[in-house]
Structure 1
Amino acid sequence: YQLLQAVSHHSLLSISLSHQRGRVLPSELLRRPPSVCGGAGGQSVSISRSSQSMALSGTGGGFFFMPSISSAPNGKEVMQKLNERLASYLEKVHTLELANSSLEQNIREWYKQQTPMPRDLSEYERTVASLQDQFDASNQHNTQIVLQIDNAKLAADDYKMKYDSELSMRQAVEADTVGLKKLLDELTFAKNTLDKQVEELKEERLSLKKNHTEVRRWHQGTTINVEVDAVPGVDLKSAIAEIRAQYEEAVERNQQETEFDDLNQQVSSSTEELQSGRSQLAELKRTIQSLEIEVQSLISLVSKQALEGSLHETEQHNYTQLSELQNLINQLEAELAQLKGDASRQDEEYKALLDLKTRHELEIQEYRRLLDMEDKRVSNEDQKKINVSSQIRALYL
């Protein structure tokens, strides 16, 4: 059947093409009667005029025009041969048309006789519809699973981002703790240094008191004796100068007031860092609360056991971090209280040293006043002695 159909289709196509070409080309050919030369069946045909000639070439019973410039001396013979060939060609075309119509009639009759009976496909359609419904349900279920997986991945990514942020905050707090420990060590070292300086100042105070007592005793002894040599006066001035030098050295050491101010600034900065740690702890608590709310909202999307395990791990991790942060805050508060106590104690010691400095300044001013009075008295007595000696010399003279 397929072979017959292919043969009929090829025959119809060949006949129709040949028929069309045969109908067109002879009319065109007859419009140009002067001269024709050529052939059929793969040969070329040329039609010549006095001014222009057209060449027709055909393959397999077909023609096409091709311009050529030629002059044929035997135009009548060529025209006669061409007319004969054209007549035979038209006869063949007519024969093929009849054969084609007969073949078409046979094909139509065969199709009428061989028309297949319609088959009942309702059972197959029901099966296909059921399978299509199952396929759609599977696709919908698969889409829901993919959506749940995507939501779980997004939740996991969110937890990971929050874990990274909390880890970075924890590292920052640990770095701040290390810095505070270093600051505490520096403050402890400064406190020890100040304690040593206080002890040294106390020793210097005792030595100054001792020197002051000795000078006072010596001064009292010099007030009783009127005839004082110049040498003890010089010794008194040197002693006062020595006391003054010692006092100036004590004053230079007391310039550590600026260091005390630095300590106060460090204590205040430690307090600010403690407040920052507390604010970070509050922020972490708020973050944990928001995470718990998100976990509650994600329970309906992800399996309950996985969420409970993840929630337990998150709570355990957050509880561990909160415990560490609380211990760190307690430690920082204890260190801050110790620093405040040390600062207050150093403030009291500084005030005591300042009072001692004031008393020493008053004593030095008193010493200066007494020395000035003593110098004036000695100079007056020397002047009186000079006047008496001059009067005695005048009397003898």
Structure 2
Amino acid sequence: MLNEKQQMQSLNDRLATYLDKVRTLEATNKDLENKLKNFRTSKVVSRDFTLYQEQLQPLRDQIIAAIIENSRLALKIGNAQQAAEDFRKKYETEYLIRQTVEADILNLKSLKEEYDSHQTSNNQEVEALKKEIEEMTKQHGKSVSILKEEMSGTVSVDVTTTESPDLKQILDDLRAEYEDIVRSNKQELEMWFNKQVETKQAAAIQETDVSESSKIEVTELHHQHQSLQTEMDTLLVSKGALEDNLAAVNGRYQMELHRYAALVGTMEGELVSIRNSITSQSEDYRSLLNIKEKLEKEIAMYRQLLEGVELGTGGASSAV
């Protein structure tokens, strides 16, 4: 009888212990269910990227605007480079024209020098002819003086003697002939030179006009080239700034994406951990439920035994 009571007491203690464990596990399970419910709710919110999309949309718009602006600047720079190339070709053409004009001017200078040389040579010839005429005049004077002396010293004169030639007339004729030759040569040379000068002057005037207009156009092209170069430098600086801004925006965008990805990864890890914990707790809970069922069966059996013992004891007491 004592052993049965001790067994019952032991069973009651075990039952109380198991019931405490069951209540503890139920509380833990309920807490885990609440955590899971809260996590699922927060997970649904975290899965909703509407807020992130609203934050990222301005960044996307900035990136698209920067790409469009970069393309526009690249096109404008290409056009400026093409215009600068055209101006460079025009400048080279005008430079060649200028070199041609300068070469023609040098040719005119050489022609002038040649004319001056011919004129100097003709002047020398004229001077030589003048000296020769003067010498001949002197000789003529001397001859006339000698003849006069001879004629004054002669007593009789032969009537049949022919008249001596007039040397002065001969010299005058010779001088006139030389002067005509010199004058003719000088006129021909002057006509040839004037014709050459007129031709070259007309060409030089035309080329000078072309050169002046070319210089003006080259100056304008140079100013336009400088203006385009300045504009292109400004555009390049703007392009660099936009590229830096685009890189910074991309960097921030990538950092935000990495942060969100890390946050999602962390939350997914927590979810996996909670699921594993819930699975483990569920297994423990099912194990405890099985133990509880076994204990309840044992308790029921012991109650039946106790009731049987009490009935037996009561019958014995009545019999006494």
Shorter-chain TM-score bucket reads: 0.3 to 0.5
Q: Relative contact order (alpha carbons < 8 A, sep ≥ 6): 1 or 2 greater?
A: 2
TM-score norm. by structure 2 comes to 0.45
The structure with the greater share of residues assigned to helix is 2
Normalised TM-score (structure 1): 0.38
